[in-house]
Chains A and B, each alone.
Chain A
């Protein structure tokens, strides 16, 4: 008998499509939810059924606990998968799902709350012997105390809101005289974004790598790791390229890091799949950064090297099945790399570029995985995250998976919206990337500007003219109910300042 009868997928885009795929393989029915902006979205089409949850605005649809619970009742779901983002790390949502008598496919509410508070999480980790970045996580939040602690830690210092994430409110301070103004600004932003202005101070590590450990734990306290991922290629604190294994770690270091990940999960009384993030100093020291109490965007690279399906494991743990995996049984083979393809304009400050997908042809072949949330005809709207798809390659070695990725990126066809495809190509082709010399400032150091695309060669223009002379105009996909040509999103005009 399957673990559940029907799973409500409380998310959208590629992760909703991804979760549905595993449910189907397990014989579990799926129900998708969609906002008014997503009525024709791919994720609503691939599930067995789909129900509306409200207007385009996320606060009134994908972030509405009431709307999601009503949807779960309406379809008769017995479990809810939160995906990532939206309510996936919201303790109140996890509690509300459980309170409604449904299984939440993720940790319980108190675990989310425990790890969502940076101050408390740091103390918990330090007490469990997990290294934390030298810093201050005390309850005395007076300006004078914080200024004194910052000076003790030593410049440069990072100011972080205790609640929240996504880089909001974070401030790097390089000299004492900048501290108090930066503190005031960070508090203001934290108060408005998270309703809490408690601050944590940490030494700012220079040129660190971002490495993280995938963990999995069941309700009986059994906990294992599925090795690490390196996600140092970031832009504005958002990951762009991820891989496993990390090219930076030797055998002993890897064992120590993964053991710290498991210790962190135990200290948090963690249940289900989670990720413990660390910063790796150029000296080789690593420090706890935070714990993500959900499935990660970049989980496919772990699946590629371990051969395990993380969504399946999440579902099994949530259904109360004891973890059948022992640490010794988890091994890795080869190397996997993931690139996040987004509707962002790399020639225009990475601004989001909504529009319609007029034509889509993902690459295929051995060792290539495409986790996409779009189809030809999909509208990429301003309301949600610009992630379109994740392209993942596997190889017996890092060189092989990187070469495979470089080739796959050259065969990735997305027409209609501007994407970061050329930026991804430039990263993967960069000599420093090829050598595995990564750090979180990699893009700022090596790839700030991207050369303009030149005009196509004459034969390309000739071919395009011939192709268009013989074909009718293509204005969109097969989805019904397309906006009329007067719709503002239709007019993807020139991106210029007049």
Chain B
């Protein structure tokens, strides 16, 4: 599998051998044994050292808890690569929530940092701001709309 972590893509390959599983991470071979403890909970044994870790998958996303830290990795598939290619000049909601103000209309000129719209979630108001100077090409949100990341709300030319 190919796991995306920030800007890095890491290739992890699992090979079943007679002596157990052999895993390579970016070509580095590691010998370890994993047992399932319960849903999402595992032990990892390397030589005589045993430790617990937690891991779940949600679609293409792998959530991993390892030695006190949470990691969010994306498994790179054909679909996710295509989605990345299509990410263009649109501004998405920073989080799921409700649009409580729309401050621009198509044709408006905006400066970097200008508030374009305000999304409210969990009692907090958060502004979506212009990442650069430009002209508003389209606005796809109205006050009262429920929105979530992945949906383009405002397009800048």
Tell whether A and B belong to one assembly: yes
The interface of chain A, by Cβ under 8 A from chain B, is: 343, 345, 348-349, 351-354, 356, 358-359, 361, 376, 382-386, 409-411, 413-416, 418-419, 421-422, 425, 452-453, 455-471, 473-475, 488-489, 491-498
Is the Cβ of A415 less than 8 Å from the Cβ of B56? yes
Is the Cβ of B148 less than 8 Å from the Cβ of A488? yes
Tell me, in angstroms, the Cα distance from A353 to B21 when the chains sit together: 36
Tell me, in angstroms, the Cα distance from A489 to B152 when the chains sit together: 16
B127-151 Cβ-contact flags toward A at 8 Å (1 or 0):
0000100000000000000111111
A114 to chain B, nearest CB (A): 26
Of B54, B74, B88, B147, the most chain A CB neighbours within 10 A belong to B54
Is the Cβ of B53 less than 8 Å from the Cβ of A460? yes
B109 interfacial contact with A, CB 8 Å: no
B123 interfacial contact with A, CB 8 Å: yes
Complex contacts, B41 vs chain A, CB 8 Å: 359, 361
Given known contacts A382-B95, A467-B55, what 19 new A-B pairs fall within 8 Å (CB)? A352-B97, A352-B124, A358-B58, A359-B39, A359-B40, A359-B41, A376-B39, A413-B54, A419-B70, A453-B69, A453-B71, A455-B6, A459-B44, A462-B25, A465-B3, A471-B36, A473-B58, A488-B96, A489-B96
State which size class the interface on B falls in: 35 or more
Is the Cβ of B40 less than 8 Å from the Cβ of A415? yes
Is the Cβ of A466 less than 8 Å from the Cβ of B32? yes
Tell me, in angstroms, the Cα distance from A350 to B101 when the chains sit together: 21
Is the Cβ of A466 less than 8 Å from the Cβ of B66? no
Tell me, in angstroms, the Cα distance from A103 to B11 when the chains sit together: 63
Q: Which of A354, A425, A455, A469 contacts B96 (CB 8 A)?
A: A354
Is the Cβ of B32 less than 8 Å from the Cβ of A468? no
**Nearest-CB residue, chain B, relative to A349:** B126
Complex contacts, A475 vs chain B, CB 8 Å: 58-59
Q: Is the interface of B mostly helix, strand, loop or mixed?
A: strand
**Nearest-CB residue, chain A, relative to B124:** A352
Tell me, in angstroms, the Cα distance from A465 to B42 when the chains sit together: 12
Is the Cβ of A492 less than 8 Å from the Cβ of B61? yes
Is the Cβ of B95 less than 8 Å from the Cβ of A458? no
Is the Cβ of A462 less than 8 Å from the Cβ of B66? no
Is the Cβ of A385 less than 8 Å from the Cβ of B36? no
Is the Cβ of A463 less than 8 Å from the Cβ of B148? no
Is the Cβ of A416 less than 8 Å from the Cβ of B63? yes
B156 to chain A, nearest CB (A): 11
B96-115 Cβ-contact flags toward A at 8 Å (1 or 0):
11100000000000000000
Complex contacts, B5 vs chain A, CB 8 Å: 455-456
Tell me, in angstroms, the Cα distance from A348 to B13 when the chains sit together: 32
Q: Which of A345, A386, A462, A474 contacts B30 (CB 8 A)?
A: A462
A sample of 18 inter-chain contacts (CB < 8 A) reads: A343-B122, A352-B122, A382-B96, A414-B70, A415-B63, A415-B70, A419-B70, A453-B71, A455-B10, A458-B25, A458-B28, A460-B67, A465-B13, A466-B23, A467-B34, A468-B55, A475-B59, A489-B96
Q: Which of A354, A385, A411, A491 contacts B150 (CB 8 A)?
A: A491
Is the Cβ of B63 less than 8 Å from the Cβ of A359? yes
Tell me, in angstroms, the Cα distance from A469 to B23 when the chains sit together: 11
Is the Cβ of B44 less than 8 Å from the Cβ of A415? no
Is the Cβ of A462 less than 8 Å from the Cβ of B12? yes
List 9 tightest A-B contacts by C-beta distance, closest first.
A410-B68, A359-B40, A352-B122, A382-B121, A462-B23, A415-B63, A455-B5, A493-B150, A466-B34
Is the Cβ of A352 less than 8 Å from the Cβ of B121? yes
Complex contacts, B55 vs chain A, CB 8 Å: 415, 463-464, 467-468
B37 to chain A, nearest CB (A): 10
Is the Cβ of A496 less than 8 Å from the Cβ of B71? no
Is the Cβ of A385 less than 8 Å from the Cβ of B70? no
Complex contacts, B117 vs chain A, CB 8 Å: none
Complex contacts, A353 vs chain B, CB 8 Å: 95
Q: Which of A356, A419, A492, A498 contacts B88 (CB 8 A)?
A: A498
A121 to chain B, nearest CB (A): 24
Is the Cβ of B87 less than 8 Å from the Cβ of A474? no
Is the Cβ of A358 less than 8 Å from the Cβ of B40? yes
B85 to chain A, nearest CB (A): 11
Complex contacts, B39 vs chain A, CB 8 Å: 359, 376, 474
Tell me, in angstroms, the Cα distance from A498 to B88 when the chains sit together: 6
Tell me, in angstroms, the Cα distance from A489 to B55 when the chains sit together: 21
**Nearest-CB residue, chain B, relative to A459:** B30
A60 to chain B, nearest CB (A): 14
B118 interfacial contact with A, CB 8 Å: no
Of B28, B30, B68, the most chain A CB neighbours within 10 A belong to B68
Tell me, in angstroms, the Cα distance from A379 to B69 when the chains sit together: 22
B26 interfacial contact with A, CB 8 Å: yes
- In residues 1-45 of chain B, which contact A (Cβ within 8 Å)? 1, 3, 5-6, 8, 10, 12-14, 21, 23, 25-26, 28, 30, 32-34, 36, 39-42, 44
Complex contacts, A469 vs chain B, CB 8 Å: 14
Is the Cβ of B122 less than 8 Å from the Cβ of A385? yes
Is the Cβ of B56 less than 8 Å from the Cβ of A416? yes
Q: Which of A465, A493, A494 contacts B1 (CB 8 A)?
A: A465
B109 to chain A, nearest CB (A): 19
Complex contacts, A386 vs chain B, CB 8 Å: 122
Tell me, in angstroms, the Cα distance from A66 to B108 when the chains sit together: 45
**Nearest-CB residue, chain B, relative to A487:** B148
